[in-house]
Amino acid sequence: MSTEQGALLGPADIRELAAALGVRPTKQRGQNFVIDANTVRRIVRTAEVRPDDVVVEVGPGLGSLTLALLETAAHVTAVEIDDVLAEALPATVQARLPEKAASFGLVHSDAMLVGELPGPAPTALVANLPYNVAVPVLLHMLDTFPTIERTLVMVQAEVADRLAAGPGSRVYGVPSVKANWYAEVKRAGSIGRNVFWPAPNVDSGLVSLVRRAEPIRTSASKREVFAVVDAAFAQRRKTLRAALSGWAGSAAAAEAALVAAGVSPQARGEALTVEEFARIAEHKEAGA
């Protein structure tokens, strides 16, 4: 262990651990393990993790980021679906950061099924999210744990761009709007391929999400607003009058709802803010 690396895992440590556990990262679970101590420290720094934070981490893998989080946070709860990795992680924490072992908790589960966490309520979410489930996991965690104030996730660069996109952007879509329902979202950096094992064939990006101090003011429920969003982007090239006809019951009813919400029936979904989608949801019955 080099002094610069400290308790953190380096490339040799990762490969040794993986070999001892018989672990090969699988594409099916989107596993790419971070092997660079500087990168995980940078993630913790960018996430602005504080000594009083209770952090939840999804997909900790062999524990690279977990150890870096434990160096700073008051408590870390990791959610891991993989049987072998979930069993091994507490021992890794105990071996490399014994003084922080009591501040670590593990939930062996699919993150999409987690409805509660042991210990204190989480204040931050920091994770290297598996590429294939990044958006649904992120939205589920934000929805399920309203105490999460700050989030920093590492995702595929393309997904990072989508999450942080604003109205009018070519990549603005369902993930952009739904993430913005919960938080102010922005790109927070890029991560190269060489800090992972195995190296993915795409670049990664960091996305910062700071929960809205005040929820979006609307009489519509989240489910109702998200139904409008899904319908609007299901057929991107269509005008909202056409795209929302199924949702509203007819093109005429869609037009009435749009006009009542102050949105042009000729507009397209990629031009609208989350607040405008909420207004449309409030007027679903208009003209029906």
CATH number, domain at 276?
1.10.8.100
Write down the pTM of the prediction. 0.93
Mind listing the pLDDT tens digit for each residue in 8-34? 999 999 999 999 999 877 655 556 889
Q: Are residues 80 and 159 in the same domain?
A: yes
Mind listing the pLDDT tens digit for each residue in 91-108? 999 999 999 999 999 999
| Domain-embedded: residue 37 | yes
Q: Are residues 77 and 173 in the same domain?
A: yes
Domain housing 224? 220-281
184 is known to lie in a ligand binding site: no
| Domain-embedded: residue 104 | yes
CATH number, domain at 205?
3.40.50.150
| Domain-embedded: residue 214 | no
User: Which of residues 185, 209, 233 is at a domain's end?
Assistant: 209
Answer yes or no: is pLDDT of 44 > 50: yes
| Domain-embedded: residue 70 | yes
| Domain-embedded: residue 56 | yes
Question: How many whole angstroms separate alpha carbon 142 and alpha carbon 144?
Answer: 6
Range 75-84 average pLDDT: 96
pLDDT, mean over the chain: 94
110 is known to lie in a ligand binding site: yes
| Domain-embedded: residue 192 | yes
Q: Are residues 20 and 118 in the same domain?
A: yes
Q: Are 97 and 69 in contact (CB under 8 A)?
A: no
| Domain-embedded: residue 4 | no
Question: Which amino acid type is present at position 26?
Answer: T
DSSP 115-165: ---SSSPPSEEEEE--GGGHHHHHHHHHHH-TT--EEEEEEEHHHHHHHH-
Mind listing the pLDDT tens digit for each residue in 55-76? 999 999 999 999 999 999 999 9
Structure tokens at 39: 């990168």
34 is known to lie in a ligand binding site: yes
Q: Are residues 81 and 51 in the same domain?
A: yes
Q: Are residues 117 and 153 in the same domain?
A: yes
Answer yes or no: is pLDDT of 2 > 50: no
32 is known to lie in a ligand binding site: yes
Mind listing the pLDDT tens digit for each residue in 120-136? 999 999 999 988 899 99
| Domain-embedded: residue 3 | no
Total structural domains within the chain: 2
Q: Are residues 205 and 256 in the same domain?
A: no
Question: How many whole angstroms separate alpha carbon 232 and alpha carbon 212?
Answer: 24
Question: How many whole angstroms separate alpha carbon 94 and alpha carbon 89?
Answer: 9
Closest CA relative to residue 67, chosen from 28, 30, 96: 96
